[in-house]
Structure 1
Amino acid sequence: MSTENKVLVDASEYILTITFNRPDKLNALDPESFHLLAQALYRLQHDSELRVGVIQAKGKHFTSGLELDQWAPIFAKGQAPEIGPDEIDPYGIAGTILTKPLIIAVQGLCFTSGLELLLNTEIRLATAETRFAQLEVQRGIYPCGGGTVRLPEEIGWARAQRYLLTGDEFSGQQAYDWGMITELCEPETLQQRARELALKVAAAAPLGVQAALKSSKIGRLHGDSAALAEVFDDLAKVMTSEDAAEGVRSFMERRAAVFKGAKALILFTAMLCSIRYSCVKTLQVHPCRLHTAIHGGAGFTSLYLTLPVKFRVC
Protein backbone atom coordinates (compact mmCIF):
# COMPACT_ATOMS: atom_id res chain seq x y z
CA MET A 1 0.00 0.00 0.00
CA SER A 2 1.34 3.44 -0.89
CA THR A 3 2.01 5.93 1.88
CA GLU A 4 -0.80 8.20 0.68
CA ASN A 5 -3.40 5.43 0.92
CA LYS A 6 -2.66 4.67 4.57
CA VAL A 7 -4.77 7.68 5.57
CA LEU A 8 -7.64 8.81 3.35
CA VAL A 9 -8.70 12.46 3.41
CA ASP A 10 -11.93 13.84 1.97
CA ALA A 11 -13.38 17.36 2.15
CA SER A 12 -17.07 18.12 1.60
CA GLU A 13 -19.80 20.23 3.19
CA TYR A 14 -17.24 22.09 5.36
CA ILE A 15 -16.13 18.74 6.88
CA LEU A 16 -12.70 17.14 6.59
CA THR A 17 -13.04 13.37 6.99
CA ILE A 18 -9.83 11.52 7.89
CA THR A 19 -9.95 7.73 7.61
CA PHE A 20 -7.31 5.26 8.76
CA ASN A 21 -6.96 2.76 5.92
CA ARG A 22 -4.79 -0.14 7.08
CA PRO A 23 -7.45 -2.66 8.13
CA ASP A 24 -5.13 -5.57 7.29
CA LYS A 25 -2.73 -4.18 9.93
CA LEU A 26 -5.54 -3.39 12.42
CA ASN A 27 -4.93 0.25 11.46
CA ALA A 28 -1.72 0.30 13.47
CA LEU A 29 -0.18 3.76 13.53
CA ASP A 30 3.24 3.88 11.89
CA PRO A 31 5.31 7.07 11.47
CA GLU A 32 4.04 7.64 7.92
CA SER A 33 0.41 7.44 9.06
CA PHE A 34 1.18 9.82 11.93
CA HIS A 35 2.55 12.45 9.56
CA LEU A 36 -0.33 12.03 7.11
CA LEU A 37 -2.74 12.61 9.99
CA ALA A 38 -0.73 15.64 11.13
CA GLN A 39 -0.82 17.08 7.60
CA ALA A 40 -4.57 16.57 7.38
CA LEU A 41 -5.05 18.46 10.64
CA TYR A 42 -2.92 21.32 9.31
CA ARG A 43 -5.22 21.47 6.30
CA LEU A 44 -8.25 21.55 8.59
CA GLN A 45 -6.75 24.38 10.61
CA HIS A 46 -5.79 26.59 7.67
CA ASP A 47 -8.51 25.98 5.08
CA SER A 48 -11.27 28.55 5.60
CA GLU A 49 -13.73 26.25 3.83
CA LEU A 50 -13.32 23.60 6.55
CA ARG A 51 -15.06 23.93 9.91
CA VAL A 52 -14.84 20.54 11.61
CA GLY A 53 -12.89 17.30 11.29
CA VAL A 54 -13.98 13.68 11.61
CA ILE A 55 -11.49 10.90 12.38
CA GLN A 56 -12.58 7.32 11.71
CA ALA A 57 -11.18 4.01 10.45
CA LYS A 58 -11.96 1.34 7.90
CA GLY A 59 -12.48 -2.24 9.01
CA LYS A 60 -13.45 -3.84 12.31
CA HIS A 61 -10.95 -1.92 14.44
CA PHE A 62 -10.10 1.74 14.93
CA THR A 63 -6.46 1.00 15.76
CA SER A 64 -4.36 -1.53 17.62
CA GLY A 65 -2.04 1.32 18.56
CA LEU A 66 1.53 2.14 17.63
CA GLU A 67 3.52 -0.08 15.29
CA LEU A 68 6.27 -0.35 17.87
CA ASP A 69 9.06 -1.70 15.67
CA GLN A 70 8.71 1.43 13.51
CA TRP A 71 8.62 3.82 16.45
CA ALA A 72 11.37 2.29 18.60
CA PRO A 73 14.27 4.13 16.88
CA ILE A 74 12.46 7.45 17.33
CA PHE A 75 11.60 6.91 20.99
CA ALA A 76 15.10 5.60 21.72
CA LYS A 77 16.38 9.12 21.02
CA GLY A 78 14.27 10.41 23.89
CA GLN A 79 12.26 12.75 21.72
CA ALA A 80 8.80 13.15 20.26
CA PRO A 81 8.26 12.77 16.51
CA GLU A 82 9.23 15.94 14.69
CA ILE A 83 6.28 18.09 13.67
CA GLY A 84 6.83 19.67 10.25
CA PRO A 85 5.86 23.22 9.23
CA ASP A 86 2.82 21.87 7.37
CA GLU A 87 1.66 19.65 10.24
CA ILE A 88 -0.26 19.91 13.52
CA ASP A 89 0.45 17.43 16.31
CA PRO A 90 -2.58 15.10 16.52
CA TYR A 91 -1.94 14.69 20.25
CA GLY A 92 -1.85 18.40 21.04
CA ILE A 93 1.50 18.23 22.80
CA ALA A 94 3.92 20.10 20.53
CA GLY A 95 3.56 23.16 18.32
CA THR A 96 0.31 24.77 17.22
CA ILE A 97 -2.90 23.78 18.98
CA LEU A 98 -5.82 22.96 16.68
CA THR A 99 -8.63 25.52 17.04
CA LYS A 100 -11.28 23.70 15.00
CA PRO A 101 -13.28 20.86 16.57
CA LEU A 102 -12.65 17.17 16.02
CA ILE A 103 -15.18 14.35 16.12
CA ILE A 104 -13.87 10.80 16.47
CA ALA A 105 -15.68 7.51 15.82
CA VAL A 106 -14.05 4.36 17.19
CA GLN A 107 -14.94 0.69 16.99
CA GLY A 108 -13.28 -2.61 17.85
CA LEU A 109 -9.80 -2.05 19.24
CA CYS A 110 -8.85 1.46 20.33
CA PHE A 111 -5.55 0.86 22.04
CA THR A 112 -2.65 3.04 23.21
CA SER A 113 -2.14 5.82 20.63
CA GLY A 114 -5.77 5.46 19.54
CA LEU A 115 -7.06 6.14 23.04
CA GLU A 116 -4.68 9.07 23.44
CA LEU A 117 -5.84 10.49 20.11
CA LEU A 118 -9.45 10.21 21.27
CA LEU A 119 -8.60 12.10 24.46
CA ASN A 120 -7.46 15.05 22.33
CA THR A 121 -10.79 15.35 20.49
CA GLU A 122 -14.05 17.07 21.39
CA ILE A 123 -16.95 14.80 20.38
CA ARG A 124 -16.35 11.07 20.80
CA LEU A 125 -18.45 8.22 19.49
CA ALA A 126 -17.92 4.53 20.20
CA THR A 127 -19.79 1.25 20.31
CA ALA A 128 -20.61 -0.40 23.62
CA GLU A 129 -18.17 -3.17 22.70
CA THR A 130 -15.23 -0.93 21.76
CA ARG A 131 -12.13 -2.09 23.62
CA PHE A 132 -9.92 0.61 25.16
CA ALA A 133 -6.52 0.13 26.76
CA GLN A 134 -3.23 1.84 27.51
CA LEU A 135 -1.15 -1.30 27.04
CA GLU A 136 2.24 0.39 27.15
CA VAL A 137 3.31 -0.90 30.58
CA GLN A 138 2.78 -4.43 29.25
CA ARG A 139 5.26 -3.65 26.45
CA GLY A 140 8.02 -2.21 28.61
CA ILE A 141 7.23 1.46 27.98
CA TYR A 142 4.54 3.93 29.10
CA PRO A 143 2.02 6.29 27.41
CA CYS A 144 3.69 9.28 25.76
CA GLY A 145 0.78 10.86 23.86
CA GLY A 146 -0.91 12.65 26.73
CA GLY A 147 -2.70 9.68 28.29
CA THR A 148 -0.97 9.96 31.66
CA VAL A 149 -2.39 13.47 32.06
CA ARG A 150 -5.70 13.36 30.21
CA LEU A 151 -7.07 9.99 31.28
CA PRO A 152 -7.05 11.00 34.99
CA GLU A 153 -8.77 14.27 34.02
CA GLU A 154 -11.45 12.37 32.14
CA ILE A 155 -12.29 9.43 34.40
CA GLY A 156 -10.74 10.36 37.76
CA TRP A 157 -7.34 9.75 39.31
CA ALA A 158 -7.93 6.40 41.03
CA ARG A 159 -9.84 4.84 38.14
CA ALA A 160 -7.28 6.03 35.57
CA GLN A 161 -4.33 4.68 37.54
CA ARG A 162 -6.00 1.29 37.75
CA TYR A 163 -5.77 1.10 33.92
CA LEU A 164 -2.59 3.09 33.30
CA LEU A 165 -0.57 0.95 35.71
CA THR A 166 -1.90 -2.44 34.60
CA GLY A 167 -2.62 -2.03 30.90
CA ASP A 168 -6.00 -3.69 31.42
CA GLU A 169 -8.88 -3.09 29.03
CA PHE A 170 -12.16 -1.28 29.60
CA SER A 171 -15.21 -1.21 27.36
CA GLY A 172 -17.04 1.45 25.41
CA GLN A 173 -19.96 1.06 27.79
CA GLN A 174 -17.70 1.72 30.78
CA ALA A 175 -16.12 4.71 29.03
CA TYR A 176 -19.57 6.14 28.34
CA ASP A 177 -20.68 5.60 31.94
CA TRP A 178 -17.56 7.44 33.14
CA GLY A 179 -18.18 10.41 30.83
CA MET A 180 -15.26 9.80 28.47
CA ILE A 181 -17.50 9.02 25.48
CA THR A 182 -20.16 11.38 24.11
CA GLU A 183 -22.49 8.78 22.58
CA LEU A 184 -22.70 5.03 22.09
CA CYS A 185 -23.75 3.88 18.61
CA GLU A 186 -24.43 0.62 16.86
CA PRO A 187 -21.46 -0.43 14.69
CA GLU A 188 -23.44 -0.01 11.47
CA THR A 189 -24.48 3.58 12.30
CA LEU A 190 -21.29 4.79 13.98
CA GLN A 191 -19.76 6.72 11.09
CA GLN A 192 -23.13 7.95 9.88
CA ARG A 193 -23.77 9.47 13.30
CA ALA A 194 -20.34 11.11 13.26
CA ARG A 195 -21.25 12.72 9.95
CA GLU A 196 -24.60 13.92 11.31
CA LEU A 197 -22.93 15.62 14.26
CA ALA A 198 -20.26 17.12 12.02
CA LEU A 199 -22.97 18.67 9.85
CA LYS A 200 -24.57 20.22 12.93
CA VAL A 201 -21.24 21.70 14.04
CA ALA A 202 -20.55 22.92 10.49
CA ALA A 203 -23.94 24.66 10.39
CA ALA A 204 -23.16 26.67 13.53
CA ALA A 205 -21.29 29.99 13.43
CA PRO A 206 -17.63 29.08 12.78
CA LEU A 207 -16.17 32.01 14.72
CA GLY A 208 -18.43 31.28 17.67
CA VAL A 209 -17.55 27.58 17.60
CA GLN A 210 -13.83 28.33 17.48
CA ALA A 211 -14.09 30.90 20.28
CA ALA A 212 -16.00 28.46 22.48
CA LEU A 213 -13.44 25.73 21.82
CA LYS A 214 -10.56 28.11 22.46
CA SER A 215 -12.05 29.09 25.82
CA SER A 216 -12.54 25.45 26.79
CA LYS A 217 -8.98 24.54 25.82
CA ILE A 218 -7.47 27.48 27.70
CA GLY A 219 -9.45 26.45 30.76
CA ARG A 220 -8.24 22.89 30.45
CA LEU A 221 -4.60 23.81 29.90
CA HIS A 222 -4.23 26.92 32.07
CA GLY A 223 -7.18 26.94 34.46
CA ASP A 224 -10.58 28.60 34.71
CA SER A 225 -9.26 32.06 35.57
CA ALA A 226 -7.11 32.22 32.44
CA ALA A 227 -10.06 31.23 30.25
CA LEU A 228 -12.52 33.63 31.87
CA ALA A 229 -10.06 36.51 31.60
CA GLU A 230 -10.30 36.34 27.80
CA VAL A 231 -14.03 35.75 27.39
CA PHE A 232 -15.20 39.31 26.79
CA ASP A 233 -12.24 40.33 24.63
CA ASP A 234 -12.96 37.39 22.36
CA LEU A 235 -16.70 38.06 22.49
CA ALA A 236 -16.15 41.62 21.26
CA LYS A 237 -14.26 40.27 18.24
CA VAL A 238 -17.02 37.80 17.42
CA MET A 239 -19.73 40.46 17.85
CA THR A 240 -18.23 42.59 15.08
CA SER A 241 -18.37 39.75 12.57
CA GLU A 242 -20.78 39.23 9.72
CA ASP A 243 -21.88 36.00 11.39
CA ALA A 244 -23.09 37.89 14.45
CA ALA A 245 -25.20 40.10 12.20
CA GLU A 246 -26.57 37.03 10.44
CA GLY A 247 -27.47 35.56 13.81
CA VAL A 248 -29.56 38.63 14.64
CA ARG A 249 -31.07 38.77 11.17
CA SER A 250 -32.09 35.11 11.13
CA PHE A 251 -33.59 35.39 14.62
CA MET A 252 -35.73 38.36 13.64
CA GLU A 253 -36.72 36.76 10.33
CA ARG A 254 -37.52 33.45 12.05
CA ARG A 255 -35.31 31.35 9.78
CA ALA A 256 -32.22 29.20 10.02
CA ALA A 257 -28.99 31.17 9.99
CA VAL A 258 -26.50 30.80 7.15
CA PHE A 259 -23.04 31.47 8.56
CA LYS A 260 -19.94 32.21 6.51
CA GLY A 261 -17.26 32.55 9.15
CA ALA A 262 -16.56 36.09 7.92
CA LYS A 263 -14.44 38.28 10.16
CA ALA A 264 -15.02 41.52 8.25
CA LEU A 265 -16.49 44.36 10.25
CA ILE A 266 -20.02 45.37 9.37
CA LEU A 267 -22.23 48.21 10.43
CA PHE A 268 -24.87 46.87 12.80
CA THR A 269 -26.55 50.27 12.79
CA ALA A 270 -27.53 50.17 9.14
CA MET A 271 -28.43 46.51 9.23
CA LEU A 272 -30.70 46.70 12.25
CA CYS A 273 -32.26 50.06 11.46
CA SER A 274 -33.20 48.95 7.96
CA ILE A 275 -35.25 46.02 9.24
CA ARG A 276 -38.89 46.82 9.82
CA TYR A 277 -41.02 44.07 11.31
CA SER A 278 -44.42 44.21 12.93
CA CYS A 279 -43.19 41.68 15.47
CA VAL A 280 -40.67 44.16 16.92
CA LYS A 281 -42.40 45.86 19.83
CA THR A 282 -39.56 47.76 21.49
CA LEU A 283 -36.01 48.72 20.64
CA GLN A 284 -34.06 50.25 23.50
CA VAL A 285 -30.49 51.42 23.09
CA HIS A 286 -28.06 51.49 26.01
CA PRO A 287 -24.39 52.57 25.88
CA CYS A 288 -23.13 49.00 25.57
CA ARG A 289 -26.21 46.86 25.10
CA LEU A 290 -29.01 46.46 22.63
CA HIS A 291 -32.24 45.02 23.97
CA THR A 292 -34.80 43.89 21.45
CA ALA A 293 -38.08 42.52 22.75
CA ILE A 294 -39.87 40.44 20.15
CA HIS A 295 -43.43 39.29 20.58
CA GLY A 296 -43.57 35.52 20.31
CA GLY A 297 -47.26 34.74 20.64
CA ALA A 298 -47.28 33.52 24.23
CA GLY A 299 -45.09 36.35 25.45
CA PHE A 300 -41.92 38.25 24.81
CA THR A 301 -38.53 36.83 23.93
CA SER A 302 -35.54 38.99 24.79
CA LEU A 303 -32.32 39.01 22.80
CA TYR A 304 -29.32 40.70 24.36
CA LEU A 305 -26.32 41.65 22.26
CA THR A 306 -23.20 43.40 23.47
CA LEU A 307 -22.19 45.77 20.70
CA PRO A 308 -19.07 47.90 20.30
CA VAL A 309 -21.04 50.45 18.27
CA LYS A 310 -23.51 53.24 18.94
CA PHE A 311 -26.61 53.99 16.94
CA ARG A 312 -30.09 55.37 17.25
CA VAL A 313 -33.29 54.09 15.74
CA CYS A 314 -34.87 56.32 13.07
Structure 2
Amino acid sequence: MGIIFEVKNRIATITINRPEVMNAMDPETYKELSDAWIEVRDNPDIWAAIVTGAGEKAFTAGADLKKTITQRPEKSDLFLTQKEQLLNRGLEVWKPIISAVNGYCLGGGVTLLLATDIRIATPSATFGLSEVKRGILPGNGGTQRTLRQLPYPIAMDILLTGRNFSAEEALKYGLINEIVPQEELMNRALEYAERIIENAPLAVSAIKELAVKSQYLSIQDGLRMEQILQSHLLGTEDAIEGPKAFAEKRKPQFTGK
Protein backbone atom coordinates (compact mmCIF):
# COMPACT_ATOMS: atom_id res chain seq x y z
CA MET A 1 0.00 0.00 0.00
CA GLY A 2 1.70 3.18 -1.23
CA ILE A 3 -0.72 5.51 0.55
CA ILE A 4 -2.31 5.22 3.98
CA PHE A 5 -5.53 7.21 4.15
CA GLU A 6 -7.26 7.87 7.47
CA VAL A 7 -10.07 10.16 8.58
CA LYS A 8 -10.76 11.14 12.18
CA ASN A 9 -12.80 14.03 13.56
CA ARG A 10 -13.18 15.65 10.11
CA ILE A 11 -9.41 15.60 9.47
CA ALA A 12 -7.90 13.34 6.81
CA THR A 13 -4.31 12.15 7.15
CA ILE A 14 -2.53 11.04 3.99
CA THR A 15 0.72 9.16 4.58
CA ILE A 16 3.03 8.34 1.69
CA ASN A 17 4.05 4.83 2.70
CA ARG A 18 7.19 3.65 0.88
CA PRO A 19 9.88 4.30 3.52
CA GLU A 20 12.21 1.69 2.01
CA VAL A 21 12.73 4.05 -0.98
CA MET A 22 12.49 7.38 0.89
CA ASN A 23 8.76 7.44 0.13
CA ALA A 24 9.50 7.90 -3.57
CA MET A 25 6.34 7.48 -5.60
CA ASP A 26 5.87 4.92 -8.37
CA PRO A 27 2.90 5.03 -10.78
CA GLU A 28 0.72 2.95 -8.46
CA THR A 29 1.40 5.29 -5.56
CA TYR A 30 0.61 8.33 -7.67
CA LYS A 31 -2.73 6.72 -8.56
CA GLU A 32 -3.50 6.07 -4.89
CA LEU A 33 -2.49 9.63 -4.02
CA SER A 34 -4.79 10.98 -6.73
CA ASP A 35 -7.66 8.93 -5.31
CA ALA A 36 -6.91 10.26 -1.83
CA TRP A 37 -7.01 13.91 -2.96
CA ILE A 38 -10.29 13.33 -4.76
CA GLU A 39 -11.75 11.83 -1.59
CA VAL A 40 -10.61 14.87 0.40
CA ARG A 41 -12.18 17.14 -2.20
CA ASP A 42 -15.50 15.32 -2.47
CA ASN A 43 -16.20 14.00 1.02
CA PRO A 44 -18.28 16.57 2.97
CA ASP A 45 -17.23 14.96 6.25
CA ILE A 46 -13.60 15.97 5.61
CA TRP A 47 -12.87 19.60 6.49
CA ALA A 48 -9.04 19.59 6.42
CA ALA A 49 -6.15 17.29 5.53
CA ILE A 50 -2.58 16.56 6.61
CA VAL A 51 -0.02 14.99 4.29
CA THR A 52 3.21 13.39 5.54
CA GLY A 53 5.64 10.56 4.86
CA ALA A 54 6.06 7.26 6.69
CA GLY A 55 9.06 6.97 9.00
CA GLU A 56 11.45 9.72 10.05
CA LYS A 57 13.77 9.93 7.05
CA ALA A 58 11.61 11.34 4.29
CA PHE A 59 8.45 13.24 3.46
CA THR A 60 8.92 12.06 -0.11
CA ALA A 61 11.87 12.04 -2.49
CA GLY A 62 9.42 12.63 -5.32
CA ALA A 63 9.03 10.33 -8.28
CA ASP A 64 10.61 6.89 -8.19
CA LEU A 65 12.69 7.58 -11.31
CA LYS A 66 13.50 3.92 -11.90
CA LYS A 67 9.80 3.23 -12.40
CA THR A 68 8.48 6.50 -13.82
CA ILE A 69 11.07 8.00 -16.19
CA THR A 70 11.34 4.76 -18.15
CA GLN A 71 7.62 4.80 -18.88
CA ARG A 72 6.48 6.31 -22.17
CA PRO A 73 2.86 7.42 -22.00
CA GLU A 74 0.62 7.42 -25.03
CA LYS A 75 0.72 10.66 -27.01
CA SER A 76 -3.01 11.02 -26.43
CA ASP A 77 -2.44 11.15 -22.66
CA LEU A 78 -1.28 14.77 -23.01
CA PHE A 79 -4.90 15.73 -23.64
CA LEU A 80 -6.35 13.69 -20.77
CA THR A 81 -5.91 16.63 -18.44
CA GLN A 82 -8.09 15.20 -15.67
CA LYS A 83 -6.60 11.68 -15.67
CA GLU A 84 -5.32 10.73 -12.20
CA GLN A 85 -5.12 14.42 -11.33
CA LEU A 86 -2.89 15.45 -8.41
CA LEU A 87 -3.01 18.35 -6.01
CA ASN A 88 0.17 19.87 -7.48
CA ARG A 89 -0.84 19.10 -11.06
CA GLY A 90 -4.00 21.18 -10.93
CA LEU A 91 -6.66 19.29 -8.96
CA GLU A 92 -8.74 21.93 -7.22
CA VAL A 93 -9.14 21.14 -3.52
CA TRP A 94 -10.46 24.11 -1.60
CA LYS A 95 -10.09 22.50 1.80
CA PRO A 96 -6.96 23.45 3.80
CA ILE A 97 -4.02 21.07 3.51
CA ILE A 98 -1.11 20.93 5.93
CA SER A 99 2.28 19.41 5.10
CA ALA A 100 4.21 17.68 7.89
CA VAL A 101 7.73 17.33 6.48
CA ASN A 102 9.74 14.70 8.32
CA GLY A 103 13.03 14.47 6.40
CA TYR A 104 13.90 14.58 2.71
CA CYS A 105 11.48 16.61 0.61
CA LEU A 106 12.90 16.47 -2.89
CA GLY A 107 11.65 16.87 -6.45
CA GLY A 108 7.98 15.99 -6.45
CA GLY A 109 8.02 16.35 -2.69
CA VAL A 110 8.71 20.07 -3.07
CA THR A 111 6.08 20.50 -5.79
CA LEU A 112 3.58 18.76 -3.50
CA LEU A 113 4.65 21.04 -0.65
CA LEU A 114 4.12 24.11 -2.85
CA ALA A 115 0.51 23.04 -3.45
CA THR A 116 -0.31 22.87 0.27
CA ASP A 117 -1.34 25.72 2.54
CA ILE A 118 0.51 25.36 5.84
CA ARG A 119 3.92 23.68 6.09
CA ILE A 120 5.74 22.38 9.14
CA ALA A 121 9.12 20.68 9.09
CA THR A 122 11.57 18.96 11.41
CA PRO A 123 15.13 20.31 11.88
CA SER A 124 16.51 17.50 9.70
CA ALA A 125 14.22 18.28 6.76
CA THR A 126 16.08 18.77 3.48
CA PHE A 127 14.56 20.35 0.40
CA GLY A 128 15.54 20.48 -3.25
CA LEU A 129 14.40 20.48 -6.87
CA SER A 130 17.13 18.36 -8.44
CA GLU A 131 15.39 17.51 -11.73
CA VAL A 132 17.80 19.67 -13.73
CA LYS A 133 20.58 17.28 -12.68
CA ARG A 134 18.65 14.42 -14.29
CA GLY A 135 18.08 16.20 -17.60
CA ILE A 136 14.41 16.96 -16.91
CA LEU A 137 12.43 19.81 -15.35
CA PRO A 138 10.48 19.96 -12.07
CA GLY A 139 6.99 19.32 -13.39
CA ASN A 140 3.61 19.36 -11.67
CA GLY A 141 4.04 23.04 -10.84
CA GLY A 142 7.73 23.13 -9.96
CA THR A 143 8.61 25.81 -12.50
CA GLN A 144 5.38 27.71 -11.81
CA ARG A 145 4.69 27.82 -8.08
CA THR A 146 8.35 28.22 -7.11
CA LEU A 147 8.49 31.59 -8.87
CA ARG A 148 5.16 32.66 -7.40
CA GLN A 149 6.00 31.72 -3.83
CA LEU A 150 9.68 32.62 -3.53
CA PRO A 151 11.70 35.72 -4.47
CA TYR A 152 12.92 35.50 -8.07
CA PRO A 153 16.68 35.13 -7.42
CA ILE A 154 16.13 32.47 -4.75
CA ALA A 155 13.69 30.56 -6.93
CA MET A 156 16.06 30.64 -9.90
CA ASP A 157 18.98 29.52 -7.74
CA ILE A 158 16.97 26.51 -6.53
CA LEU A 159 15.63 25.65 -9.99
CA LEU A 160 18.82 26.08 -12.01
CA THR A 161 21.42 24.63 -9.63
CA GLY A 162 19.29 21.76 -8.33
CA ARG A 163 20.96 22.18 -4.95
CA ASN A 164 19.51 20.94 -1.67
CA PHE A 165 18.80 23.33 1.17
CA SER A 166 18.03 23.02 4.87
CA ALA A 167 14.94 23.55 6.96
CA GLU A 168 16.48 26.77 8.31
CA GLU A 169 16.91 28.07 4.77
CA ALA A 170 13.37 27.02 3.86
CA LEU A 171 12.07 28.96 6.87
CA LYS A 172 14.13 32.01 5.91
CA TYR A 173 12.81 31.86 2.34
CA GLY A 174 9.21 31.64 3.58
CA LEU A 175 8.73 28.18 2.10
CA ILE A 176 7.61 26.72 5.46
CA ASN A 177 5.78 28.12 8.48
CA GLU A 178 7.89 26.68 11.29
CA ILE A 179 10.36 24.05 12.43
CA VAL A 180 9.44 21.69 15.27
CA PRO A 181 11.14 18.66 16.84
CA GLN A 182 10.43 15.32 15.16
CA GLU A 183 8.38 14.06 18.10
CA GLU A 184 6.10 17.12 17.92
CA LEU A 185 5.57 17.20 14.16
CA MET A 186 2.25 15.40 13.78
CA ASN A 187 0.78 16.93 16.92
CA ARG A 188 1.65 20.38 15.64
CA ALA A 189 0.08 19.64 12.25
CA LEU A 190 -3.01 18.37 14.03
CA GLU A 191 -3.16 21.54 16.14
CA TYR A 192 -3.26 23.65 12.97
CA ALA A 193 -5.97 21.44 11.47
CA GLU A 194 -8.08 21.49 14.64
CA ARG A 195 -7.90 25.28 14.87
CA ILE A 196 -8.97 25.61 11.24
CA ILE A 197 -11.93 23.24 11.48
CA GLU A 198 -13.34 25.24 14.39
CA ASN A 199 -14.29 27.76 11.70
CA ALA A 200 -17.12 27.63 9.18
CA PRO A 201 -15.96 25.18 6.48
CA LEU A 202 -17.65 26.96 3.58
CA ALA A 203 -15.98 30.22 4.58
CA VAL A 204 -12.63 28.43 4.87
CA SER A 205 -13.03 27.00 1.37
CA ALA A 206 -14.11 30.34 -0.06
CA ILE A 207 -11.09 32.08 1.46
CA LYS A 208 -8.71 29.46 0.14
CA GLU A 209 -10.16 29.55 -3.38
CA LEU A 210 -9.99 33.36 -3.42
CA ALA A 211 -6.45 33.43 -2.09
CA VAL A 212 -5.19 30.90 -4.64
CA LYS A 213 -7.04 32.16 -7.69
CA SER A 214 -6.41 35.83 -6.97
CA GLN A 215 -2.73 35.26 -7.68
CA TYR A 216 -3.70 34.97 -11.34
CA LEU A 217 -6.45 37.64 -11.49
CA SER A 218 -6.50 41.40 -11.79
CA ILE A 219 -7.48 43.25 -8.62
CA GLN A 220 -10.81 44.15 -10.25
CA ASP A 221 -11.61 40.51 -11.04
CA GLY A 222 -10.43 39.41 -7.59
CA LEU A 223 -12.67 41.94 -5.86
CA ARG A 224 -15.63 40.88 -7.99
CA MET A 225 -15.03 37.21 -7.18
CA GLU A 226 -14.78 38.14 -3.48
CA GLN A 227 -18.12 39.94 -3.69
CA ILE A 228 -19.82 36.97 -5.35
CA LEU A 229 -18.51 34.44 -2.82
CA GLN A 230 -19.41 36.69 0.10
CA SER A 231 -22.96 36.93 -1.23
CA HIS A 232 -23.08 33.14 -1.42
CA LEU A 233 -21.81 32.74 2.16
CA LEU A 234 -24.36 35.20 3.54
CA GLY A 235 -27.08 32.79 2.43
CA THR A 236 -25.71 29.87 4.46
CA GLU A 237 -26.83 28.55 7.84
CA ASP A 238 -23.30 28.96 9.17
CA ALA A 239 -23.44 32.71 8.48
CA ILE A 240 -26.45 32.85 10.82
CA GLU A 241 -24.88 30.58 13.44
CA GLY A 242 -21.61 32.53 13.64
CA PRO A 243 -23.01 35.91 14.74
CA LYS A 244 -25.65 34.21 16.90
CA ALA A 245 -23.01 32.23 18.81
CA PHE A 246 -20.92 35.38 19.22
CA ALA A 247 -23.88 37.27 20.68
CA GLU A 248 -24.69 34.39 23.01
CA LYS A 249 -21.04 34.08 24.08
CA ARG A 250 -20.74 30.41 23.08
CA LYS A 251 -18.78 28.33 20.64
CA PRO A 252 -20.47 28.18 17.21
CA GLN A 253 -21.72 24.85 15.93
CA PHE A 254 -20.90 25.02 12.25
CA THR A 255 -22.27 22.38 9.89
CA GLY A 256 -21.05 23.39 6.44
CA LYS A 257 -24.56 24.31 5.32
Sort the TM-score into its range (normalised by shorter chain): over 0.9
Deviation at 1:226, TM superposition (A): 2.5
Larger Rg: 1
1:58-137 matched pairs, under 5 angstroms: 58-59=54-55, 60-74=57-71, 88-93=85-90, 96-137=91-132
Aligned pair partner of 2:37 in 27, 32, 41? 41
Q: 1:172 to 1:77 in 2, by over 3 A?
A: farther
Q: Which fold has the larger relative contact order, with Cα–Cα distance below 8 Å and residues 6 or more apart in sequence?
A: 2
Between 139-148 and 204-213, report the one with greater CA deviation: 139-148
- 1:105-254 superposed matches below 5 A: 105-254=100-249
Q: Report the secondary structure of 2:88's partner residue.
A: coil
- Relative to the length of structure 1, the TM-score reads 0.77
**Counterpart of 2:220 in structure 1: which amino acid?**
S
| C-alpha distance in 2 between matches for 1:40 and 1:236 | 31
Structure 2 portions without partners, runs of 5+: none
Deviation string for 1:249-276 (max 9, x for gaps)?
A: 11011111111001xxxxxxxxxxxxxx
Q: Distance in 2 between matches of 1:20 and 1:128?
A: 20
Which whole-Å deviations, capped at 9, do the CAs of 1:166-186 have from their partners, x for residues lacking one? 110111111111111112111
SS in 1 for 2:140: coil
In the TM superposition, residue 82 of structure 1 has moved relative to its aligned partner by 5.7
- The reply on whether 1:22 has 2:18 as its aligned counterpart is yes
For residue 131 of structure 1, what is the amino acid of its counterpart? T
Q: Structure 1 residue 165: deviation in Å? A: 0.7
Q: Residues of 1 paired with 2:79 and 2:49: CA distance?
A: 22
TM-score (normalised: structure 2): 0.93
Distance in 1 separating the partners of 2:125 and 2:219: 33
Q: In the superposition, relative to structure 1, how do residues 201 and 261 fare at CA in structure 2: closer, same or farther (>3 Å)?
A: same
Per the TM alignment, residue 218 of structure 1 is displaced from its structure 2 partner at its CA by 1.2
Unaligned runs of 5+ in 1: 263-314
Between the aligned partners of 1:75 and 1:228, the Cα distance in structure 2 is 44
Q: Does 1:11 align with 2:3?
A: no
Return the offset for 1:90.
2.0
RMSD: 1.9
Q: Distance in 1 between matches of 2:34 and 2:228?
A: 30
Which AA in structure 2 matches 1:255?
Answer: R
Q: CA deviation at 1:122?
A: 0.5
- Asked whether the 8 Å contact 1:88–1:97 carries over to 2, the reply is no
Residues 135 and 167 in structure 1, CA contact (< 8 A), matched pair in contact too: yes
Q: Which has the higher helix share?
A: 2
